[in-house]
Structure 1
Amino acid sequence: MRQVAWYLKCRAITLKSWIDDTEIEEEGVADLLMDEHNVAQVARPGTSLARPMTGSAAGGQSPVVRPMTGSGRALTGFVRPGTSAARPGTGSSKPGTALAAALKAARPGTGSSSCRPLTTSGRFVRLGTASLAAAGPGGPFIAAERLDLRKYAARPHLARVLCDYILYVDHNMQKVLELAGHATAEAGFADWWWKERLGKAYYQLGLLRDAEKQLASAAKHQDMLVLTHQLARISTRLDQPLAALALFSEAAARHPGDTGLLLGQARLQEGLGNRQAALQLHHQVLALDASNVEAVACLAADHFYTDQPELALRYYRRLLQMGVVSAETWTNLGLCCFYAGQYDFTFSCFDRALAMAEDAALPDIWYNIGQVAIGIGDLSWAHQCFRLAAALDPAHAEALNNLGVLQLKLRQPQQAASCFRAGMKAADHVFELHYNAALLAHRQGDLQEAVTQVTGALALYPEHTDSLELKKLLKAQLNAGVQRQLRQVDPFATFMDEGPPSVAGAPATANGPAVNTNGVQQQPAVPHKCQCLEAPSPRSSSQLLTPLRHSRLHSRSNSSRQLSWHSNNRLP
């Protein structure tokens, strides 16, 4: 009877702290500092999550069509575990950016700017604290350090309950390895369950290769979907998305109709920038499960960013019918209504979004309202909305960028330059900030600063046409200035490569924009659309749908009265 009571109590405490950890993928600050796994630094596009495919020719999407998040991924419409923090080597062309972002907060691992715990198991430890406190003043229910684990390993039923308790409540991975090792030996190394627990413990300790060996050995004894997900997670952690895709494809052939396998493939395809393949997989998921929130949200975001707001509106209404009622959903509905021409519903949706919003969602909502204000031509109201967004979130790079563009419209270049600098300091993934700063420096005659900033813009988005044209113009002007200086020193000097510059234009002055040979003024680049709703994963109810971010102003100094918008919209 005592063993039965012990079994029931241990099982109850374990289930109270148990979570589905197959989708939790967070790398802590300690993991970044002590990571010894070498990955390719210059991988081919489409083979690494750090270098997804971009551009329509490669099958991907450019940041102009769909904006990028701070973690280096295109907005997909759904917030997933591990996507709130940048992975090493993603989100920026500068090395070490992920670690710098993780340490940016006053208390590393706790600030909103890092969104990253100190260790990989930080989330598990926080979840287990409540259970330990509930055990009473006498201490925890089981003191694993005092147990003879060899004796428990000889009792399979008690050993499994004890292993889960140590794993999910006590979080003592060394003891899990010790108990699982003894139990595996007792079972003749043929029990897949113990090998799976060994792989899970090795993964928590950061020993990815050892975890991969144990999980692969377990998969040979028993074909389980959880083993496929864990092996794919290890391949993703090692930046081997193609290997993870192969695992999912093989498992999908053995288990047709499983939506989890299809969603795993769709997430990897989105991370690699293969949009069409991801869309096909999401359609297959909806054919099997018409109420899958992730597939509905991702398809809605894709329709919005491909200029089909009417279709996106249908998907978001479907989310409301399914009970996904949040500030982000109403924000996305408002943006879809605005772009679909249903102006009478636009502001009522934003009113509901503001009424339901938490503090973390307010900056994006005001940012999107500012974009709507620009769409109706009320620049004064847009200026107020962007100021509110920047006040609520000083690191909101898109709002700072748009504020800088509006300051240029008010002929206040110093304030505009300050906004651009603040935006670049807050986030280094917004290429419009660099382009706008380069264009402003060009207008003020600071060609060296303009070259530096336009180089930064091209590093983030190499195919940006306006940045390429501005770089050619700056190169021509710098070459012309060098030649003039040499002629002043030696009037008879000749140049073998002298000839008409590739892009001719009058030097920029502080009083007016640069003009090319066709008389067309260089204009600031402004993002165009909204941010698509990113719905929370059903397994992590604490995550919210990310609100749409209407468009990012891609500031181009424009002589006309209208702002030029580049579609850098984000649906929540």
Structure 2
Amino acid sequence: MTSSSDLDPLYKALLYFRINRIDDCQTECTKILEKNPLDQAAWSLKLACFTEEVYVDELENDEAGLAETYMDDNVISTAARPGTSLMRPVTTGKGPSPAVRPRTTAGRPLSGMVRPETRLKTGSMEKALRTSRTSRAASRAVSASTARQVRLGTASMIAQQEGPFLNLARLNIDKYATDPQVNRYLFDYVFLHEGDMKIAHQIAAAATRACEYNDWYWKNQLGKCYYRLGMFRDAEKQFASSLTKNQKMVETYAYLAKVYIRLDQPLSAIDRYRSGLEQFPNDITLLTGLARVYEQLGDINTSIDYYKVILKHDASNVEAIACLGTNFFYTDQPEVALKFYR
């Protein structure tokens, strides 16, 4: 019988990573790199460990602060018709009466689920600054999302006693970005752990050129970088190119819809979600996106219909259960709501 001390160090590190013992995996990788600093496998795995510690789903990672909400010059129409803009949701005939169902400070009916991009939508910057932050659904100070990303990166770096693992200023980007064995680990580390969108964009651009623009993955990563940099039209081009020229993927449809939501074009976002559902019927991610958009538009009944479809295919979906429970509670059916909450 082989003891753990007899295992190959890299295999041992991979085993730790597989069973989610990230700290132990990182320790093993450090030991390997101390003996051989040029071991690319251990180097890549250690990058993956750092990334795993701060991993955030980009589809759910979207907080609009004051700067993004009130200084956004990407919105096309400033006086859109009700029902065609997230700034002017439908308020009549699409669900329970506003007098019965309370609303958030953004004017959206309470849904039982806190989601990205739902805190700041209506009113003015002056009103937002004057309003007591402790009276809001979220008492955290309203700030720019870019500052939040920087805070995430710096907090991760402080946790390392010996300083950052990778010196980005001295990194040979062209060398590593074109190496298919390490470029994805390197990109995830720079994008999620360091939060350096400029370097991440350079890595994604070099990798896209190296694969001759035939890899949907790198086009999506470029789109994510453009999105974080506030270049929404460039992000739209990358995601659209990934869909039409490379490969149709669920996340690409979701990212493209996310771009349209940020541009305040919810009807275009709905079209993208529906196009995705034609290719991937009953996909939970796309159905959830549709339900959220309809709810933000004020069309509660259609939103609830989609949440019911979600529960048919995923009976443990917390968001669908919470939203249906809340809806039944505010439509005078508390006993049905109680079954959902239980």
> Structures share a fold, TM > 0.5?
yes
Match of 2:187 in 1: 163
Match of 2:297 in 1: 272
Q: 1:35 to 1:25 in 2, by over 3 A?
A: same
Match of 1:103 in 2: 129
Q: 1:158 to 1:240 in 2, by over 3 A?
A: same
Q: 1:183 to 1:18 in 2, by over 3 A?
A: same
Deviations 1:123-164 (A, max 9, x none): 433333343123223x21111121121122231222221111
Q: 1:129 to 1:40 in 2, by over 3 A?
A: same
DSSP-derived class of the 2:75 partner: coil
Q: 1:240 to 1:125 in 2, by over 3 A?
A: same
Match of 1:148 in 2: 172
- Asked if 2 retains the 8 angstrom alpha-carbon contact of 1:300 and 1:311, the reply is yes
Match of 1:361 in 2: none
- Asked if 2 retains the 8 angstrom alpha-carbon contact of 1:196 and 1:218, the reply is yes
- Asked if 2 retains the 8 angstrom alpha-carbon contact of 1:120 and 1:204, the reply is no
2: CA distance, partners of 1:148 / 1:275 = 52
- 5+ residue gaps, structure 2: 1-35
AA aligned to 1:233 is: K
- Asked if 1 retains the 8 angstrom alpha-carbon contact of 2:101 and 2:110, the reply is yes
AA aligned to 2:99 is: V
Structure whose alpha-carbon radius of gyration is higher: 1
Match of 1:43 in 2: 80
AA aligned to 1:82 is: E
Deviations 1:306-359 (A, max 9, x none): 111221222222xxxxxxxxxxxxxxxxxxxxxxxxxxxxxxxxxxxxxxxxxx
Shift of 1:33: 5.5
1:291 to 299, 312, 316: 316
DSSP-derived class of the 2:181 partner: helix
Shift of 1:260: 1.6
Shift of 1:257: 2.5
DSSP-derived class of the 2:212 partner: coil
Shift of 1:200: 0.7
Shift of 1:122: 3.5
Deviations 1:350-393 (A, max 9, x none): xxxxxxxxxxxxxxxxxxxxxxxxxxxxxxxxxxxxxxxxxxxx
1:176 to 192, 196, 200: 200
1: CA distance, partners of 2:192 / 2:90 = 38
Shift of 1:238: 0.9
Shift of 1:105: 7.8
AA aligned to 1:167 is: F
AA aligned to 1:203 is: Y
Between the two proteins, the alignment pairs up a number of residues equal to 302
Deviations 1:204-254 (A, max 9, x none): 111111111111111221111111111111111111111111111111121
- Asked if 1 retains the 8 angstrom alpha-carbon contact of 2:65 and 2:120, the reply is no
Match of 2:47 in 1: 10
2: CA distance, partners of 1:13 / 1:281 = 37
Q: 1:208 to 1:114 in 2, by over 3 A?
A: farther
Match of 2:98 in 1: 63
- Asked if 1 retains the 8 angstrom alpha-carbon contact of 2:96 and 2:331, the reply is no
Match of 1:335 in 2: none
Q: 1:78 to 1:113 in 2, by over 3 A?
A: closer
Shift of 1:268: 0.9
1:187 to 203, 211, 231: 211
- Asked if 2 retains the 8 angstrom alpha-carbon contact of 1:102 and 1:115, the reply is no
AA aligned to 1:179 is: I
Q: Does 1:225 align with 2:245?
A: no
1:86 to 112, 120, 123: 120
2: CA distance, partners of 1:193 / 1:266 = 26
AA aligned to 1:43 is: A
Match of 2:275 in 1: 250
Match of 1:76 in 2: 111
| 1:85-484 pair list within 5 angstroms | 85-87=119-121, 90=122, 92=123, 97=124, 99-104=125-130, 115=140, 117-137=142-162, 139-220=163-244, 221-317=246-342
AA aligned to 1:214 is: Q
Higher normalized contact order (CA 8 Å, seq sep 6+, divided by chain length): 2
DSSP-derived class of the 1:79 partner: coil
Match of 1:379 in 2: none
- Bigger helix fraction: 2
AA aligned to 1:53 is: V
Scaled by the length of structure 2, the TM-score of the pair is 0.82
- Asked if 1 retains the 8 angstrom alpha-carbon contact of 2:104 and 2:137, the reply is no
Shift of 1:61: 4.0
Q: 1:20 to 1:242 in 2, by over 3 A?
A: same
